[in-house]
Chain A
């Protein structure tokens, strides 16, 4: 087999770029049939397929594991996935171990900070180590996020032809291996989140040592970069992981729903005679007015007339009005003539205010007061006012009055 130069490798890798990206997305061994199917999808002519496989093998892009099974060179896969921003799945244990490392380093930093005498070198070294680990966490978490998202996409794209049960199994596997452990990393009550919180507190302690930071440019520089990474993890990555968990859950839900639909359809189709009676209560399709079952045209025409002329009023209510009670003016107002008539009939009234109050007790108080005052304000009255020299006390419900009492004597000569 001729040895391929680096130039040759690059030329080969560049040949079918998108095919290579897809192959690198495959995690395990690739069967020959699958390899050929990938080539088919990327429009490679059948006769060129074998030659291309050989070329990939020569360039050490593909390794032949056994007869008819291949793996992609992990170095190539890593590079392609890195540059294609496809992320890399990280094992959950590794993600957790990194947090444990951070926890241990935080303890060390805490000790160094409060050591007596102070140990600036140890502080600087620990911050440096912390910086490296936190950067690693940031990168691996981000890669993990991208890889999981890609896995969802691949699953959707490659699901064609797979049965629902198989698809549910696949998703459950991905969920168990890569998604489920993430919930522990973002659970506010679990160890990892508490460890990160302790790191933040420790960083605050470090920030308080202004003297120490002023002495070392490198230390303050590292501290700032570390802070940026911690913030990125706190705000962006934690949010990303929540998205992952939600996405996985909703994908699984929709697959399970699909499964129930499929089962229901199969069952119904298999037993149509039992389905009809159960369906007959509802409406599947209405025949419509053009078919024979439709209501007659006269009825429709009448209906349209009524709607168009707005004879129908939604939810009509019977009219109801409460009629006002009829009352005559004479029973509410005391007229001058009425009073004069009474005086003429009586001829002489010894105590006019008390008389009004007694005789007209059904009238409103204001009316009675006007009547009491009438003899005193009337111009040229047909009667004479005779003061009694006593004082009149009267209670007119709304107010009380106190005035000089007087009587009235009718004088016939004035009448007319």
Chain B
């Protein structure tokens, strides 16, 4: 599809055109569906474009939605480079938030300069450990990581619920099941009176590091080798198992940062419904983007934009917000259905 060594802008415009075609086809089908349902989608699209680009709040909310998607996309993309499938972004996100909350409760009386880095580290470690378990199982050839990460996605929110209904139940009003509010020092700073928060910086940093590692370090080369043919890589002396464990830990850690950021910046506490499926959406973002950094940025922007369309459809057209999933899936179906790839795929 893309020639190796093609100039950057050429490649981008090729990709961009492909995306435009996909978007138009899917949008067309979706609009037809909505018209059949008696709604006026064009008004909603118009409202959305104005909202996103003509309105500071609209644009900022798009960024807010985009932030966790970048994290979870990386969490899926990184292991994919060495041939591992991580569908566990959802669970890793929750466990990152969980460990960060534990830290917040323990270190409440410290200043932000101590608290924020500590929570960041804990968020990373929480998610990382949750991904390490499936990695170990895979390395020991016991369980395929696809299914183990999937199963752990269910256990993590239950653990979070257990704690916020029990030991971490907020005493204020002794009512609603959630953790006590994070102290101000534990909240990630936001920018310009919007909800855009420092988590976005983390996400972009992670994205940058991802690109750097893969394209400019020898680790990237070795990872490419493993992704191409793990057995051959092992014979060449590359420590495949060590990479497996390390990469999964890092990937889970990145998803854990998403959880920590959502809890600290957006929710301000640990809640049961921390993620509306960011983990799965991130997996799809990574898949759509072909696991390269620029693609992840663009695709997460697109998905976040779809969310804004969904908001508008709900408020102005009375459609259930969930309907936007049809468009998202439609785009994916079109992409997935393009020219079949030669050779067996996983």
A and B from one complex = no
> Which B residues lie at the A interface, using CB under 8 A?
none
> Which A residues lie at the B interface, using CB under 8 A?
none
